[in-house]
Amino acid sequence: MKKLVIVDGSGFLFRAWFAFPPMINAQGNNQNVLYGFTRMILKLIDETSADYFIIARDSPVKTKRHELYPDYKGTRPKIDDDFKQQIPQVHKLIEELGIATYQAPGYEADDIIFSFVREYQKKSDLTLEVVSSDKDLKQLLQANVVITDAAKNETTTLLTFQQEWGFSPEHIVDYLALIGDSADNIKGVAGIGPKGAMTLVQTYGSIENIYDHLGDLSPKLAEKLSDGKEDAFFSKKLIELMQVPQIQGTDLETWQSSKNIEQREQILLNQYGFSSLQKLLESLKKKYAMPQQLGLF
């Protein structure tokens, strides 16, 4: 059984920014994101033994959700210039290391992850691991698809999700549409909190079915839902993941994980001076020397 790992690159960029202290090189430039991102990605490749590996990147321009809702993510604080300046450097280095990335104008990293999972999920000889902390991606959970939150070192399977949430993964979109998402400036329904939303989704499933059964609810709850109906359906539209057309029909072999450790050593140790990555590179070299251990899930 082979394994495809798809990473939310944007999430890893922010993790590197906050997790690693400033690292000033000889030219006086901070490299904490460059170093931290690379270290975390190599560690993930080492730990997952991925046969195929893709880093999903956010659109470089406004997304299709911004076309629907100009204030989408409008409440987020301005990105630090020091952080912003390192992003192109990260992409350049990852490309030099032979690690596949994917970016599509107008689409977010989550849409790219969604599209790749939908493209390859039916392959009988493949398991998929999505690495992201975004709750909306949990809708992708299946018998052969797991979601890992690398920051918490937690992996969610179809079974553990159902045990924790009490409904099918595809309805996480309905749950989020009810409670909203302050990080993305998505309203949800005023007065509906996580506990109430969970009960509604456990009982009725989709937003559509909840609104078909307003008469079964208490007058107070029904009134909140009725007043917030437009917000509920619009929130769901914003939260629903989009298919990236260009991903349809792509060849899985395109995303084969590079095993050229010598090249990576030359780049990371000699060109960039990241000597503390040597131990991690040696671990990868040993793993690649034992092909029988690759592809485990």
pLDDT tens-digit readout, 62-76: 999 999 999 999 988
Indicate if 210 and 250 belong to the same structural domain: no
Please state which of the ranges 80-84, 244-248, 290-294 shows the lowest mean pLDDT.
290-294
Helices of type H across the chain: 9-19, 32-48, 64-68, 81-96, 109-120, 158-165, 172-179, 194-204, 207-212, 219-227, 229-239, 261-265, 278-288
What pLDDT, on the 0 to 100 scale, is given for residue 270?
A: 95
134: amino acid identity, one letter: D
Indicate if 177 and 275 belong to the same structural domain: no
Indicate if 258 and 199 belong to the same structural domain: no
Indicate if 66 and 143 belong to the same structural domain: yes
Indicate if 69 and 152 belong to the same structural domain: yes
Indicate if 191 and 253 belong to the same structural domain: no
What pLDDT, on the 0 to 100 scale, is given for residue 76?
A: 87
Count up the domains in the chain and report the number: 2
**CA nearest to 183, candidates 37, 270, 261, 72:** 72
Q: What is the CATH number of the domain that holds 251?
A: 3.40.50.1010
- Whole-Å CA distances, 30 to 23, 82, 127: 5, 7, 38
Q: Which of 239, 257, 285 is the last residue of a domain?
A: 239
How far is it, in rounded angstroms, from Cα 207 to Cα 173?
9
Indicate if 208 and 279 belong to the same structural domain: no
Residue 98 has pLDDT above 80, yes or no: yes
How far is it, in rounded angstroms, from Cα 34 to Cα 37?
6
What pLDDT, on the 0 to 100 scale, is given for residue 297?
A: 34
Indicate if 67 and 14 belong to the same structural domain: yes
Q: What is the CATH number of the domain that holds 228?
A: 1.10.150.20
Indicate if 126 and 270 belong to the same structural domain: yes
What pLDDT, on the 0 to 100 scale, is given for residue 276?
A: 96
What pLDDT, on the 0 to 100 scale, is given for residue 183?
A: 87
pLDDT tens-digit readout, 159-215: 999 999 999 999 999 999 999 999 899 999 999 999 999 999 999 999 999 999 999
Residue 295 has pLDDT above 50, yes or no: no
| pTM, rounded to two decimals | 0.93
Indicate if 74 and 148 belong to the same structural domain: yes
What pLDDT, on the 0 to 100 scale, is given for residue 294?
A: 40
- Token digits for 114? 């969604």
- CB count, 10 Å around CB of 124? 6
- Token digits for 45? 């490749």
User: Could you list the residue range(s) of the whole structural domain that residue 138 is in?
Assistant: 2-161+241-293
Indicate if 145 and 288 belong to the same structural domain: yes
In the structure, what pLDDT confidence band is assigned to residue 257 with cuts at 50, 70 and 90? confident
- Token digits for 173? 């979109």
How far is it, in rounded angstroms, from Cα 21 to Cα 255?
32
In the structure, what pLDDT confidence band is assigned to residue 291 with cuts at 50, 70 and 90? low
**pLDDT mean across residues, the chain:** 94
Q: Which of 204, 224, 239 is the last residue of a domain?
A: 239
Residue 77 has pLDDT above 90, yes or no: no
Indicate if 154 and 189 belong to the same structural domain: no
